Amino acid sequence: MARKRVVVTGLGCVSPLGLNVERTWQAVLNGQSGIGQITHFDTTDFKTTFAAEVKGFDADEALGKRLSRRMDRFTQFSLESTRQALEEAGLNVDDSNRDRIGVIIGTGIGGVGTLTSEQENFSERGPRWVSPHMVPMMLPDTAPGYTAIVYGMRGPNMAVATACASSANAIGEATEMIRRGAADAIIAGGAEAAIIPVALAGFNVMNALSTRNEAPQGASRPFDLDRDGFVMGEGAASLLLESYEHAVERDAPVLAEVLGYSATNDAFHISAPAEGGAGAAICMQNALEDAGLRPSQIDYINAHGTSTMLNDVSETKAVKTIFGDQAYNTPISSTKSMTGHLLGAAGALESLFCVKVIQQDVLPPTMNYTTPDPECDLDYVPNHARTAEVSYAMTNSFGFGGHNACLIFGAV
């Protein structure tokens, strides 16, 4: 039996650049930064004092006080981005379809904010004072679980945890489920809310974070020679995926098609990419084969582009391995230069950007690109958005543990 076509019919997000898709996308095209000094806690003793926080999000208003207070921040973000995606898609869940609608959400860390705050509560006041909601609030599968409860979705439901590849894998695995007929529609995406003291300290001692405390908006500078680490971000993005037949039958807005997906592992190092980007290259090649496309047909790549020394070089090498001379003619940008790195939610937000690129034929820039790196010598769409005809867009996501995920979207 031929596999089903999978299309995107709804988008939603909560990001450091805005609380919905329109505001986030316009900020990206304008080259705006969502990075600033951390307000969640006192950073006096930290090497890094800034991050890309979500600003102005009122969970009580968005979800209702009773519900929101039983959720970690990452789940709150996820529910709001899902609401937006369902609204755009015009999908109503009822007894006629609920068993065929699923939820797959990726998160690298889950409810770590709840876990650490309750650990402090336990240490200061004792075991009887730990919240009875702690365990469900901290579990990674709470986001898809609550989504199912709120909307009555009884189809496939799971969390994906592959570090910074989590939400790209969530979208890819959701695609595979729809392709094989296990569901008609799936909310797929990612959520993260890990800007907390212990996580910041952990990344700092690994020397993974930028320390440009005096100029935080210029700190995330992917592929630039003077990059010195990534910037932590938080937020969520959701895509409603449907089989093409299901979307057409209900006259849904078809925004793009998911054409290719691949997941591989470097099997090399727990936190460093494989030399020469070997694992990433295999992942891109597999995604192209899954989509039935040649490298020359890809019009745009949204890079993982973390602004770390190793990642940006290895990704550039991987692109050259697969694209050959065409690599120099394929525009690439890293929107993390504006959003920061949303960790497990990054792949979903960057997939959303690929859909918008295809819809509007405009490429987001890589901001803060001022000093070329001889090892990173491709077209990174520096500092200004650019118009271009885009039929096919690729996005890469790579995570600790050696995880690689690649998705390819196409116009319909």
**Does 336 lie in the same domain as 292?**
yes
Is residue 256 one of the residues assigned to a domain? no
Of the candidates 27, 52, 47, 58, the one whose C-alpha atom is nearest the C-alpha of residue 37 is 52
Of the candidates 304, 47, 295, 34, the one whose C-alpha atom is nearest the C-alpha of residue 166 is 304
Q: Which of 225, 249, 273 is the last residue of a domain?
A: 249
Catalytically active residues are 164, 304, 341
**Does 233 lie in the same domain as 269?**
no
Q: Give the per-residue pLDDT at 2.
A: 84
Q: Tokens 């979307």 appear where? A: 247
- pLDDT over 90 for what percent of the chain? 99
**Does 273 lie in the same domain as 241?**
no
Q: Which of 228, 249, 270 is the last residue of a domain?
A: 249
The answer to whether 363 touches 331, Cβ cutoff 8 Å, is yes
Q: pTM for this one? A: 0.98
Q: Which of 249, 281, 303 is the last residue of a domain?
A: 249
pLDDT tens digit sequence for 26-66: 999 999 999 999 999 999 999 999 999 999 999 999 999 99
| Domain housing 241 | 7-249
User: What gap in Å lies between CA 175 and CA 170, rounded to an integer?
Assistant: 8
pLDDT tens digit sequence for 337-353: 999 999 999 999 999 99
Instruction: Spell out the residues 6+ positions from residue 367 whose beta carbon is closer than 8 angstroms to its own.
Output: 31, 33, 220, 221, 337, 338, 383
Q: Looking at the 3D structure of the chain, how many domains does it have?
A: 2
The answer to whether 6 touches 258, Cβ cutoff 8 Å, is yes
User: What gap in Å lies between CA 141 and CA 147, rounded to an integer?
Assistant: 10
CATH number, residue 315: 3.40.47.10
**Does 45 lie in the same domain as 158?**
yes
Is residue 255 one of the residues assigned to a domain? no
Strand partners, 404: 264, 398
- Region of 167 (left: φ > 0; alpha: ψ -120 to 50; beta: rest) is alpha
Asked if the model's pLDDT at residue 1 lies above 80, the reply is no
Beta strands in 71-214 (DSSP E): 101-106, 157-160, 185-192
User: What gap in Å lies between CA 235 and CA 24, rounded to an integer?
Assistant: 11
pLDDT tens digit sequence for 105-118: 999 999 999 999 99
